[in-house]
Amino acid sequence: MKTKIFKIRLSEDEIYEDQAALDLFMQQHNIIKYETAFVKAEESYWSVIIHYEELKIHVNEPAAEKYSAEQEKLTEDEIKILDSLKLWRTEKAKEKRLPVYLIATNKELLSIAKYKPIKKEELVDIKGFGKYKIENYGAEIIELLEMV
């Protein structure tokens, strides 16, 4: 198991850059667990410690293409699903004392709203959803989709 530390600066011009680097790293590695802490200093920031394993990709086997919704127009039902997912994410982030983007990014929630998985195992087809997110949030997401 390896460890990497990310610093998510809070200034408007840096937070998106730092978040993009963290998102890319999380997509490219098998995340075992993560820890966050808010650091109050001259320049306050979030510290994110990622415990991970390298993904083993075989050169001869193409990686499965994962679903990722683009800026497509949403139906009324998809808008309701997306709104419900965002509300769930906000509540989960407050409960875990994490920034919302560590629970799921807007693009991941949009992809779920468009793809509409029926079983927890289908979340693996959503870009950005790996073992950790599926194990920790999958059942709640599927339950929410069933209610909307």
Return the pLDDT at 19.
Answer: 86
Cα dihedral 27→130→117→80 (10° resolution): -60
Name the one residue in this structure whose structure tokens are 């059942």: 139
Nearest C-alpha neighbor of 104 from the set 61, 142, 134, 59: 134
Q: What is the pLDDT of residues 5-35, one digit of tens each?
A: 999 998 877 888 888 888 888 888 888 888 9
d(CA 57, CA 131): 16
d(CA 93, CA 109): 14
Q: CB–CB of 39/46 below 8 Å?
A: yes
Return the pLDDT at 59.
Answer: 46
Return the pLDDT at 1.
Answer: 85
Mean pLDDT of 54-59: 57
pLDDT band of 109, cuts 50, 70, 90:
very high
- The residue that leads in pLDDT, 73 or 112, is 112
